[in-house]
Structure 1
Amino acid sequence: MITEKIKFGTDGWRAIIAKDFTVYNVARVSKGLAEWLKPKHAAPVVLVGHDCRFGGRLFAETAAGVLCANGVKVLLADGFISTPMISLGVLKLGAHQGVVITASHNPPSYNGYKLKGPHGGPSSPKDIAAVEALIPDEVDMPQQSIAYWKEKGMLETVALEDLYVEYLKEKFDFEMLNRSPFKMAYDAMYGAGQNVIRRLLPDAVLVHCEDNPGFKGQAPEPLDKNLRELATTIATTPEIKIGLATDGDADRIGLYDEDGNFVDAHNIILLLIHYLHKYKGMTGKVVIAFSVTDRVKKLCAHYGLPVEVTAIGFKYISEIMVHDDVLVGGEESGGIAVKGHIPERDGIYDGLALYELMTKTGKTLKQLCEEVYDIIGRFVYDRHDLHIENDKKEAIIKKAADGGYARFGKYGYDRVETIDGIKYHLDNGGWIMLRASGTEPLLRVYAEGNSKEETQDILADVKATILA
Structure 2
Amino acid sequence: MEYRERYQSWLDDPYFDEATKAELRAITDENEIEDRFYQDLEFGTAGLRGKIGAGTNRMNNYTVSLATQGLAQTIINHGEKAMKKGVAIAYDVRQYSDKFAEIAARVLAGNGIKVYLFDDIRPTPMLSYTVRRLGTISGIVVTASHNPKEYNGYKVYWEEGSQILDDIADEILNEIDSIEHFRDIKVMELDEAKSKGLIEIIGGAIDDEYNDKLLNMAINDDIDKSVKIVFTPLNGTGNIPVRRVLKDRGFTDITVVPEQENPDWTFATVGYPNPEDTKAFKYARNLGLKVKADVLLATDPDCDRVAIGVLNDNGDYTYLNGNQTGALLIYYILSQRFEKGTLPENPAIVKSIVTGDLGKAIAKKFGVTTFETLTGFKHICAMANEWDITEAFSFIFGYEESIGYVYQDLVRDKDAVVSSMMIAEMAGFYKKQGLSLLNVLEKIYEEFGYYSEKQISIVLEGVEGQQRIKRMMDDIRHMPVESIGEMMLQKTVDYLSDETDAGRSNVLKYYMDDGSWYAIRPSGTEPKIKLYIYSKGKSEKDAKDKVELIEKVVRHRMESVE
Same fold (TM over 0.5): yes
Say which structure is richer in helix: 2
AA in 2 matched with 1:268? T
Which residue does 2:443 correspond to in 1?
Answer: 371
**Shift of residue 190, structure 1, vs aligned partner:** 1.5
- Does 1 or 2 have the higher relative contact order (CA < 8 Å, sep 6+)? 1
Structure 2 residue 450 is the aligned partner of structure 1 residue 382: no
Matches for 1:184-333 after TM superposition, within 5 Å: 184-201=229-246, 203-207=253-257, 208-216=260-268, 218-229=271-282, 232-233=285-286, 236-237=289-290, 239-259=292-312, 260-281=317-338, 282-283=343-344, 284-324=347-387, 325-333=394-402
Relative to structure 1, the CA distance from residue 264 to residue 148 in structure 2 (aligned partners, 3 Å threshold; closer, same or farther) is: same
**Shift of residue 163, structure 1, vs aligned partner:** 4.4
Matches for 1:419-438 after TM superposition, within 5 Å: 419=495, 420=505, 421-438=507-524
Partner SS, residue 261 of structure 1: strand
Q: Give the distance between the partners of 2:77 and 2:187, measured in 1 at CA.
A: 25
Q: Give the distance between the partners of 1:227 and 1:393, measured in 2 at CA.
A: 27
Relative to structure 1, the CA distance from residue 279 to residue 300 in structure 2 (aligned partners, 3 Å threshold; closer, same or farther) is: same
Q: Give the distance between the partners of 1:345 and 1:290, measured in 2 at CA.
A: 16
* Alignment equivalent of 1:25, drawn from 44, 63, 74: 63
Deviation string for 1:227-249 (max 9, x for gaps)? 23156236614641122221121
- Note if contact 1:430-1:448 (Cα within 8 Å) is conserved in structure 2: yes
What percent identity do the matched residue pairs reach? 25
Residues 252-261 or 360-369, more deviating: 360-369
Relative to structure 1, the CA distance from residue 38 to residue 144 in structure 2 (aligned partners, 3 Å threshold; closer, same or farther) is: closer
Which residue does 1:466 correspond to in 2?
Answer: 558
**What RMSD in Å do the two structures reach over aligned CA positions?**
2.5
Which residue does 1:145 correspond to in 2?
Answer: 189
Relative to structure 1, the CA distance from residue 84 to residue 305 in structure 2 (aligned partners, 3 Å threshold; closer, same or farther) is: same
**Shift of residue 428, structure 1, vs aligned partner:** 4.2
AA in 2 matched with 1:114? K
Q: Give the distance between the partners of 2:45 and 2:255, measured in 1 at CA.
A: 34
Partner SS, residue 332 of structure 2: helix
Q: Structure 1: where are the runs of 5+ without partners?
A: none
- Note if contact 1:269-1:328 (Cα within 8 Å) is conserved in structure 2: no
AA in 1 matched with 2:447? I
Which residue does 2:470 correspond to in 1?
Answer: 394
* Alignment equivalent of 1:334, drawn from 403, 421, 427: 403
Q: Give the distance between the partners of 1:128 and 1:45, measured in 2 at CA.
A: 18
Structure 2 residue 118 is the aligned partner of structure 1 residue 77: yes
* Alignment equivalent of 2:426, drawn from 342, 357, 360: 357
Partner SS, residue 116 of structure 1: strand
* Alignment equivalent of 1:347, drawn from 413, 416, 422: 416
Q: Structure 2: where are the runs of 5+ without partners?
A: 7-36, 248-252, 388-393, 496-504
Relative to structure 1, the CA distance from residue 410 to residue 119 in structure 2 (aligned partners, 3 Å threshold; closer, same or farther) is: same
Residues 388-397 or 426-435, more deviating: 426-435
Q: Give the distance between the partners of 1:66 and 1:156, measured in 2 at CA.
A: 14
Q: Give the distance between the partners of 1:349 and 1:460, measured in 2 at CA.
A: 37
Q: Give the distance between the partners of 1:313 and 1:212, measured in 2 at CA.
A: 27
**Shift of residue 461, structure 1, vs aligned partner:** 2.5
Deviation string for 1:157-216 (max 9, x for gaps)? 111544433443444499978x61311111212211122233344541213221111222
**Shift of residue 301, structure 1, vs aligned partner:** 2.7
- Note if contact 1:265-1:332 (Cα within 8 Å) is conserved in structure 2: yes
Relative to structure 1, the CA distance from residue 133 to residue 463 in structure 2 (aligned partners, 3 Å threshold; closer, same or farther) is: same
- Note if contact 1:88-1:164 (Cα within 8 Å) is conserved in structure 2: yes
Partner SS, residue 80 of structure 1: coil
Which residue does 1:46 correspond to in 2?
Answer: 87
AA in 2 matched with 1:122? Q
- Note if contact 1:89-1:163 (Cα within 8 Å) is conserved in structure 2: no
Residues 326-335 or 352-361, more deviating: 352-361
Deviation string for 1:266-316 (max 9, x for gaps)? 122222222222101225122111100122332233233222211112111
Structure 2 residue 110 is the aligned partner of structure 1 residue 66: no
Relative to structure 1, the CA distance from residue 165 to residue 137 in structure 2 (aligned partners, 3 Å threshold; closer, same or farther) is: farther
Residues 167-176 or 262-271, more deviating: 167-176
Matches for 1:150-165 after TM superposition, within 5 Å: 150-159=194-203, 160-165=206-211
Q: Give the distance between the partners of 1:128 and 1:381, measured in 2 at CA.
A: 33
Relative to structure 1, the CA distance from residue 340 to residue 441 in structure 2 (aligned partners, 3 Å threshold; closer, same or farther) is: closer
**Shift of residue 21, structure 1, vs aligned partner:** 0.9
- Note if contact 2:456-2:530 (Cα within 8 Å) is conserved in structure 1: yes
AA in 2 matched with 1:298? A
Which residue does 2:22 correspond to in 1?
Answer: none
Q: Give the distance between the partners of 2:271 and 2:382, measured in 1 at CA.
A: 32
Relative to structure 1, the CA distance from residue 27 to residue 462 in structure 2 (aligned partners, 3 Å threshold; closer, same or farther) is: same
Structure 2 residue 139 is the aligned partner of structure 1 residue 87: no
* Alignment equivalent of 1:183, drawn from 228, 232, 235: 228
* Alignment equivalent of 2:50, drawn from 6, 15, 36: 15
Q: Give the distance between the partners of 1:409 and 1:9, measured in 2 at CA.
A: 39
- Note if contact 1:399-1:405 (Cα within 8 Å) is conserved in structure 2: no
When normalised by structure 2's length, the TM-score is: 0.77
- Note if contact 2:45-2:169 (Cα within 8 Å) is conserved in structure 1: no
* Alignment equivalent of 1:123, drawn from 156, 164, 171: 164
Q: Give the distance between the partners of 1:245 and 1:262, measured in 2 at CA.
A: 11
**Shift of residue 8, structure 1, vs aligned partner:** 3.3
Relative to structure 1, the CA distance from residue 116 to residue 104 in structure 2 (aligned partners, 3 Å threshold; closer, same or farther) is: same
AA in 1 matched with 2:71? L
Q: Give the distance between the partners of 2:157 and 2:74, measured in 1 at CA.
A: 14
- Note if contact 1:195-1:209 (Cα within 8 Å) is conserved in structure 2: no
Which residue does 1:445 correspond to in 2?
Answer: 531
Residues 47-56 or 426-435, more deviating: 426-435
Q: Give the distance between the partners of 1:309 and 1:422, measured in 2 at CA.
A: 15
Q: Give the distance between the partners of 1:444 and 1:334, measured in 2 at CA.
A: 15
AA in 1 matched with 2:192? Y
Relative to structure 1, the CA distance from residue 146 to residue 72 in structure 2 (aligned partners, 3 Å threshold; closer, same or farther) is: same
Residues 99-108 or 401-410, more deviating: 401-410
AA in 1 matched with 2:139? G
Which residue does 1:407 correspond to in 2?
Answer: 483
